[in-house]
Amino acid sequence: MIKMVMTDIDGTLIKDGTLQINPEYYEVIEKLVEKGIVFVVASGRHMISIKEVFAPVMDKLWIASQNGNVVSHNGKSKIMKPIPQEWGKELWEQLSKFDQLEGLLNTPTNTYCPFEGTPMHKLLIDGYHYDTIGMGGWSNVPQEDFSMMTMYHPENIDQICEKYIKDKWEGKLEFLKSGKYWIDVVRPGANKGTAMRSICEELGISREETIAFGDNINDIAMLEYAGKGYAVDTARKETKEAADEIIPGYGKHVWWKCKECGNSWKATGIMRTRSDKPTGCPICGRVKQAKTRQMTLLKSGVKSLDQTHPELISEWSYIKNIDITPDFVTAGSGKQVWWKCKQCGYEWQAAVCERTRGRGKCEQCNAK
């Protein structure tokens, strides 16, 4: 029996660097929690950004933020493995030597960067809605320990980290790819898998009773610890290898079912959640458009079918015509709709204008 679900955000549920999520996820979370299943959101993001994405259901979640090194629930947070302040200062000194390479220092409540107005700072503010504090220079390091450090470069983050940064910190820090431009820096053993184990131990849940979803390198420990780990089909090769099963990602066409009309259709998670024009049920969409057109027509003084031809209403099939009703169509409409014969019960399709002109009658009765 599943008692815990843990999932990554970026690349798994939504596109990297966005705040748009399919609101249907909120309903899924609420239903799982109602059934007693613990839902954990695990991300390299800071809590500030996670709150933006999951605001309607935050009170129902456990959060493993900053790559799992900060575990939060009901307003309380704990750092699994703090990074000493002097290490943060030393790493910032390293990063300052490279063009376009930037760094971020995180605590459970704040995020700090060397300068404001840089590409990284703008991305954090505009894309992730971070309230990032600019320190006015690489040497101005906050006087506190950190939960996570982050490296950013718009082009070559992997190469720079491997060639110039990583070796110096071997055994002290781990460098985990968490997005196209990002590498999270944490203490060894501070990861999403450790966070999952900690929550399980606190709640008395066995690892066999858990499932996890992810796409990137920093999700591997979580997928390996879970009773069953799922990687989306757009995941990195290493992540897929660590997973028990591969499933469609948010960018893949999958089936959806409308809770209003029951219609099923295919769409990607991106299409369902994009901020400019999210796509919904095509049937309900057409219904809305048809009703809008008909309302415009009816407001102009034209009467509806139920007013002009009430004798036809008894043969209107309300069950099959789920997208329209007689009060939203006019006598001259060419729309094909379903009719049900009041004599024999036969159902057929005919244009509204055909019926109002005396044609398009029951095919069964007319055939006799």
Residues 212 and 359 in one domain: no
Q: What is the mean pLDDT of residues 185-204?
A: 95
pLDDT above 70 covers a percentage of the chain that reads 93
pLDDT above 90 covers a percentage of the chain that reads 45
Q: Could you tell me the pLDDT band of residue 367, with boundaries at 50, 70 and 90?
A: low
Residues 143 and 235 in one domain: no
Tell me which amino acid residue 115 is.
Answer: F
Q: What is the mean pLDDT of residues 136-141?
A: 88
If one compares 276 and 19, the residue with the highest pLDDT of the two is 19
pLDDT above 70 (res 118): yes
Tell me which amino acid residue 25 is.
Answer: Y
- When mean pLDDT is compared over 120-124, 182-186, 191-195, 267-271, the highest value belongs to 191-195
Q: What is the mean pLDDT of residues 128-141?
A: 86
Residues 95 and 172 in one domain: yes
Q: What is the mean pLDDT of residues 26-35?
A: 93
Contact call for residues 184 and 67 (beta carbons, < 8 A) = yes
Residues 292 and 357 in one domain: yes
In angstroms, the CA 115 to CA 106 distance is 15
Predicted pLDDT of residue 329: 84
Residues 252, 254, 260, CA angle at the centre, nearest 5°?
A: 140
Q: What is the mean pLDDT of residues 259-263?
A: 79
Predicted pLDDT of residue 262: 80
Contact call for residues 186 and 173 (beta carbons, < 8 A) = yes
Q: Domain containing 325: what range?
A: 282-367
Q: What is the mean pLDDT of residues 105-112?
A: 89
Residues 214, 219, 225, CA angle at the centre, nearest 5°?
A: 100
In angstroms, the CA 127 to CA 253 distance is 25
Q: What is the mean pLDDT of residues 187-201?
A: 95
Number of structural domains found in the chain: 3
In angstroms, the CA 229 to CA 221 distance is 10
Which two three-digit tokens encode residue 291? 């009703």
Q: What is the pLDDT of residues 206-226, one digit of tens each?
A: 999 999 999 999 999 999 999
Predicted pLDDT of residue 241: 96
The mean pLDDT of the chain is 87
Predicted pLDDT of residue 17: 72
Domain boundary among 118, 151, 186: 186
Residues 73 and 205 in one domain: yes
Domain boundary among 231, 254, 273: 273
Q: What is the mean pLDDT of residues 317-330?
A: 82
Predicted pLDDT of residue 70: 94
Contact call for residues 348 and 357 (beta carbons, < 8 A) = no
Residues 351 and 304 in one domain: yes
In eight-state DSSP terms, residue 162 is: I
Domain boundary among 186, 209, 242: 186
Q: What is the mean pLDDT of residues 361-368?
A: 78
If one compares 126 and 337, the residue with the highest pLDDT of the two is 337
Query: Which of 40, 192, 182, 165 has the alpha carbon at shortest distance from 97?
Result: 165
Report, in angstroms and rounded to the nearest whole number, the Rg of the chain calculated over CA atoms: 28
Q: Could you tell me the pLDDT band of residue 272, with boundaries at 50, 70 and 90?
A: low
Terminal alpha carbon distance of the chain: 60
pLDDT above 60 (res 38): yes
Diameter of the chain measured on Cα atoms:
94
Residues 248 and 330 in one domain: no
Residues 73 and 197 in one domain: yes
In angstroms, the CA 71 to CA 257 distance is 34
pLDDT above 60 (res 249): yes
Query: Which of 70, 14, 3, 82 has the alpha carbon at shortest distance from 36?
Result: 3
DSSP state string for 11-33: TTTB-TT-----THHHHHHHHHH
pLDDT above 60 (res 270): no
Residues 292 and 327 in one domain: yes
In angstroms, the CA 42 to CA 47 distance is 10
pLDDT above 70 (res 276): no
Predicted pLDDT of residue 298: 65
Residues 182 and 105 in one domain: yes
Query: Which of 330, 297, 298 has the alpha carbon at shortest distance from 312?
Result: 330
Positive or negative, the CA dihedral 167, 168, 171, 173 is negative
Contact call for residues 335 and 352 (beta carbons, < 8 A) = yes
pLDDT above 80 (res 134): yes
Q: What is the mean pLDDT of residues 327-332?
A: 84
Residues 200 and 63 in one domain: yes
CATH number at residue 263: 3.40.50.1000
Predicted pLDDT of residue 128: 80
Which two three-digit tokens encode residue 74? 């009901």
Contact call for residues 189 and 177 (beta carbons, < 8 A) = no
Residue in the structure block whose two tokens are 């101005």: 140
Q: Which range is least confidently modeled, 70-79, 206-215, 292-301? A: 292-301
Residues 120 and 206 in one domain: no
In angstroms, the CA 311 to CA 218 distance is 67
Predicted pLDDT of residue 275: 46
CATH number at residue 148: 3.30.1240.10
Parallel, antiparallel or unpaired: strands 228-232 and 210-214: parallel
Q: Give the side-chain half-sphere CA count within 13 A for 78.
A: 9
Contact call for residues 326 and 304 (beta carbons, < 8 A) = yes
